Every structure is written in C-alpha cells, then in structure tokens.
Structure 1
Amino acid sequence: MSAQLAEDSSDGDDATLVGLRAIGEDEPLVDPNADTFELDLGAGRRVVIPMDRAAQRRGVAGASGTEAASETGAVVWDGAVLLARRPARRPNEKRNVLELGAGCGLTGIAWAVTLGANGCNLTLTDRPHRLQALRENARRNGVQATVAALDWTRALEDAAQLELFGSSDVVLAADCVYDEALATPLVRTISYAMHDESIAFVAVDEANRRPAALRAFLRVAERAFSYFREESYGMEPRSRWSHGHDRESIRLFVFRGPRLFDPRRPLRVIIAGPCGCGKTTVGRELAAVLGLPFIEGDDLHPEANRAKMARGEPLDDADRAPWLERIRAAVGASQEGAVASCSALKQIYRDALGPVRIALLDVPEAVARERVEKRSGHYMPASLVASQYAALELPAVECRALVFDGTLAPAALVDEIVGTIAKDELWRRSCR
C-alpha cells in the first residue's frame, strides 16, 4: 500500500512530509491508509517508519481500557510528526535525548538524525511489547539508541534502574497525554529525567485525546516546572517549529526547571487542622493530583484513643505520642512520598512528624462544628471541636507548616497547596 504524497511548498531547510494528506487544512497529517511513514529531513536525511495497522486494530493482549481497544504505539501520530520536525541546531557537545512513550520512535529517531551521531545520545522508552519494533526502527534508520521499558506509574524504580535521574538534556513526549490517570505519572517521569538546564517538549493532539486528560496533565504540569510555555499557532512561534505543516488541534508545551517532583526529596505532605476543617477531603484530592497514596490519620489512632474520644474526652499529649509516631512511620515508608491527614494542632506535634510539609487548614470554629455535626459514622463527637480549637497553635515562624484557607472549594485549595509546594523554596528546603 502506497502513501499519498504531499506537495512540498517549503524552502530548502524544511522537511518534506511523505504519507500526508490535505496539508494546510485541519486534516490528519498521517495518512490513515498508509503502512509506511517517511519524513525527509533535508540534506539527504530521511526517516522511514513502518506502521502496523493490524496491530493497531487488534489492541494489546491482556491490557484494559484504551490499550485493549487500540495499540496506539503501532502507528505514527500527528503530534509525533510535528515534534520530530522541530528545528534543532547541532550542539557543541553531545546531548542526552530521552523519548517517552516512543511508540514507533519517529520523534526520537528524527532528532538523532538531525543532531547527528556526535550530537545525540538517544534513549527510546515505552512498554515492553514495543521495544523490539523500536530497536528495528532505530537500526533501519542508522541510529544508535538505547531502548528500554519505562513504566510511568513506577518511574522511581524504572528510572533508577536505567540511571535516568537528572540525566536527560532533552525530554520528548509526543501524543502521550491520553489518560487522566497517567497525567501525574507522566509529569513525574519527565521531572525525574531532567536536570536544572534540561528542556522538555510535549506535543498533544486534542483531536485524538480526551479533553479531561489534557486538563489533568496541565493542572499538574503548570505547577511542576519553573518555566512553562505553550508555542501557539497563528503567531510567529508556529513558524519556528511547524513551518506551516500543522494541525490546529496540535499543541506544543515547553518545560524547564522541574520543581515539584524530585527523586531525592519525596513529597511527604500532612494536611493538618482541627476536626471539621476538611483534612480528609482535601487530602484525598491532593493525593490524587500528586499521584501519591493517601493515609487517613484517624485510622491510625490506638483503640484506647478512639474509645476516649467517643466518650467525649479530649486526648492529651501522652495519648497523641504513639499516634504521631504511627503517622510519621506510615508517611516515611512510602518511597515516592505520601499525603496524610493529622490534626497536628501544636508545634510539638508537628515537630514529631519529622521532615514533612504541613498544610494547616484554617476554618472558623463555627464552620468546623457544623461540618462535624453533619457527618455520620465517625467516633469523634462535635463536643470535642471546642477543645481542639483551644489547643490549636497556628504556625508563626515555623517554616514547615503553612496556613491555608480551609473555606475554599477543595479543588481550589488543592491547586493552591500544590502551587505553594512547587514555588516555596523555603518550604522545600525545610523538608530535605
């Protein structure tokens, strides 16, 4: 089966795209009937990628959801085409280039061909069943590449095994934003691979991806890097990377300076405050956004503590000591970090929790009491709210604990906490 040729209206420095249709219109760049994709990079440089349409239709054996219905890595997607063509000058020294979710490997291989053997040390990563095809595509195009499995959901283990922490000068991800559940794992993996001077390029084709997946990705990514920019269409930046061969639905995001996820400093966050302030609600949502386990501090109380509170008797310092130790141990046991709820009313309690970030939710006592009165199935009665506020010590110069407005909507509060974690260097340093 032959691919439809596209007329080339570019100048001598631009690439010829073969296997495309309807350039200049918002139509797919990759011919859906072609079984081979070719990208002419100019100056006699060409990348040829075979596509397995049958495998795409078959899906991935043993997988669930999207992967079971369609093997997305078996074909070239439009986002990969445009990211493969992004101009890259030959560097003065060799760059370590990492492609995530490489699929057929077009983007990484094209960068390696453009940068040359002396300018690029390429690593292609994907799920295990894609690795053989990646090796063959690299060899077919005369590119030396390390090909390895990398699971974003266990990035800490896989990246450590591959020695990827802070090792990549350039991180590429084309059409990798497709599942809300993988949004944070993808951002974390990108962050782990980068050092302070690295740059990451993420191309997303909105026409082929669920809007919720992109929203989930951007919610974290916009806060996870010190530099975030989208190269927009219809303006000068477009001509610098797409040269007019574009889809209006494709968006390119550029990141520098990872500041939220660091394998050397796992995120360990305590949501604190008196009963009724919203610790569990906010903690669960924060854990979901950060892709971390949530630990319900109330579940770690010794049975004697629960019985005492159920009788309407407030806990004293001696009662709380073993409970705080349990929370500290549970949070510290998670290698990538965790989010936990704990009242942590006094500074001595917060000190007992160890090197963690503490977000203390501040709500009026009347609001907290009303919330406690409305909930059911909890051992703590509303009568104990007053005693908790009497014991509460709001942090002053204590840098590990910051106060947040607990009357905000949970989603807004979570975004504020995530943004503070990312931007507040003093808060980050206190937890090293």
Structure 2
Amino acid sequence: MTATVNAPVSLQRPELVTEIPGPKSRAIHARREQAVPRGVGCALPVYIEYADGAWLTDVDGNRLLDLGSGIGVTTLGHTHPAVVAAAKAQLDRVSHTLFTVTPYENYVRLAERLAEHTPGDHAKKSFFVNSGAEAVENAVKISRAFTGRRVVAALDHAFHGRTNLTMAMNHRAAPYGTGFGPFAPDVQRVPNSSPLRDGLTGAEAAARTIEYLEQRIGVADLAAVIAEPIQGEGGFIVPAEGYLPALQEWATANGVVFIADEIQAGLGRTGTWFSSELFGLVPDVVLTAKGIADGLPLAGITGRADIMDAALPGGLGGTFSGNPVSIAAAHAVLDLLETGEPFAEAARVERALVDGLRELAHTYPEIGDIRGHGAMVAFELLQPGTTTPLAGLAGEIAAHAAEQGVLLLTAGSYGNVIRFLPSLAVTTEQIEYAVEVIGDALARTRAQ
C-alpha cells in the first residue's frame, strides 16, 4: 500500500450488522419511491452515510467493499485526504466566479497540465465543463466548427451519455433512449473491433470500419470519429492491436477529427495516464471526466490547438463549467498521478483480479473471457465453449455479492459482463475475497 491511496488497512472483509439492504435503507428507499422518478435507477438500494478508501458505510452501519467507485470516479479512493484538503482550502477562498466572466489561474494551470500529459507533443488547449456527456457534446461541436462538416461516427457497443446528442451516439436504446426521441441527427454507428466475436486482426477490423465510414457516410460529410479506447458500458471491449492507430491514420489523411473518449478509462485507471497510450494512439481530442477530480464534478476537453480554436469567442462554456473547487481537486489528483505510484497500484490490482479470475475460470468455464487493463477489468459470461451470452447470470452474481457486502457492477450490450472499477485503495486481500464471493455465486447457480 502506498501513500497515494486512502484505505483502512485493518479491515479486509465487509462488516455486516444487518441484512442487505438494512431496515433504515429500506425506509429511505420507500421515501425515494414517492419522491424520485423511477427513471433514476438504483443498482443496490443501500443508502450511504460515509465513505473512505475502498469502503462504503450505509445508514444501517454495514461496511461494504466498493468495487465500482461510483462507476470509475473515485479512482484514488473515497475521500482521499489530499483531494479533500485541496477542495476545503479552495472553498475558503473562492467557490465560484465563472471563468468566462472573471477567470482564475488554477483553470489555466490545469489546462497546461493536461497538455503535458495527454498523448502527443503537439500544441494543445483545454477547457472544462461539468460532466462526461457535456465533454462529448462540446467535442462534437468543435469538430463540426473545425471541419465544416456535420456527421459524427460512433462505434458499435459505445456509450457516451444521456443527453439528446449522446443518446443518439449510444449503442443500446434501452434504457438510455427508450421513449426520449426524436434524437439528434447526423449520428452514425459503425463496427468496432471486438476480438472475442469478430476474430479479426486490428488491420482487418480497421478496414471494415473504414469501409463503413467511406461507403455509408462519405468523407465529405464526416466531421469526427469518436471512440472509447476501452469501451466501458459496452463491456470493457479491448480492440485488437493496431485497430485504433489505423483509424487515426485514416482520419488524419481525410481531415476527420479523431476523438478519444477517455472518460472512464483515463487518468490512471488503466495503469497509464490515458488508455490511448496502451494502443499507440495519439488522438486529436481527448475527453476526461469521472476520475479527474476524484468525486467532484468536472470534465475536460483537450485537443490540438487549431481544432480547439475553431469555436467563436463565447461559443464554449457554461455557468458552472470549471468550478474552482473541482479544479482544485483535479490539481490534487494530478499531483498524485505525477508521483507514478497510482500506476503501480493499478498494475497490482490488475494482477490480483486477472490471476484470481483465471483460477476461478478453471472450475467455472462460464467465465468465457477475461479482459481489461489496470483497475478496469471484466469477465464475460458465456455458454461454455461458445460466444453465446449467458443472460441473467451477471445479475445473479451481483445480487449474491451484495448480500455478502461486495458491490459489483454489471455491463455489456448483452448484460452478461461483470466489470471491476475498484479504487486503487483496494487491497489484494480484498480482491481475493471478492473473487471468492463470485465463486460462491457461481457454485450456487450450478447447484440450482
């Protein structure tokens, strides 16, 4: 364990004092059903009162092992002391002025630091918004302004957000888009590289994607291609080697902006500054959010200076965009990442997860594919010896894990993936316990 994480070292297993969810959580949930729309879903109705490191403590006093990190947000751990201290200090100075009215230096410095750490040594500029979906929307706006073209292409199995434009870019309609149309026009989806299912090399998969881009869209109308280097909601799909650089090369040759959505995979999550580095990819525009401020709302759009300057003055921004408190937290995150220690922790988490899951797969061949990098690892549940999804089993595993005090996330276009997005505060022993719980869940389903 290093100084960069925030974990109580004495506790290696959850502590449960009631059933999950407990009586206080159930009472609050009943109130929620009367006050909050059903469209605001709830994966696990336990109501959190306190969080630290890799732990969540609910209102009933149960201490739960969090392997989701708010879907990849608290990468360095809940309530990391350095992040909390930076945010508190900023609150004592300035909480808000609006950067586009009366600016502040920390915003400028964060833009400079992202220029240093995003892939490529070209001149870059950044600006900041509140959420990942906002970052995606602004990247599309800038790409259209820069190219004078209108169409954006997203990859199959992608997820980019819940706004009108990003809903049109998502692979799955339900539940993210059902009943919410009409959607934004000029969005096309094209095949991704998915080695488990397509069996193609990176070059072959890129050729297929490019054929779609050229024939179904046409270069003359295409402003941008957007890709998650490792897809998140789609099931942590890792493309074949060479796929992303081939797409980037084609985009550059044809004046198309290549956008890397690093919202879930960036800033240390995969053991590198950005997951693009794992594939030798140098995007034109890089999007950050989630882990950038370790729990405070912030997102960044960083790109080639000439692209970023395409929008007219006043065309970019928003009331809370680049809030000073969130900016201060982001500086604390970057300070910690610059020590290099979180990258080593991510590698440790990957080893523990992958080794444990591979051992489990010897007994349970339903674990058909294990993939990912760093603290972004998943396994896909398949009919043994096939690529046929095992529908429903992921949900059963997550439900059993919750009863044992372990929070797991499901994912995948077929709902058959368990994804791990733990904070780097998680210990190897805690991971081993989680794998044990998954094994118990699989044994129970086999016995039924």
| TM-score clears 0.5 | no
Q: Which has the larger radius of gyration?
A: 1
Q: Which of the pair has the greater relative contact order for Cα pairs under 8 Å at 6+ separation?
A: 2
Identify, as 1 or 2, the structure richer in strand. 1
Scaled by the length of structure 2, what TM-score is found?
Answer: 0.27
Scaled by the length of structure 1, what TM-score is found?
Answer: 0.27
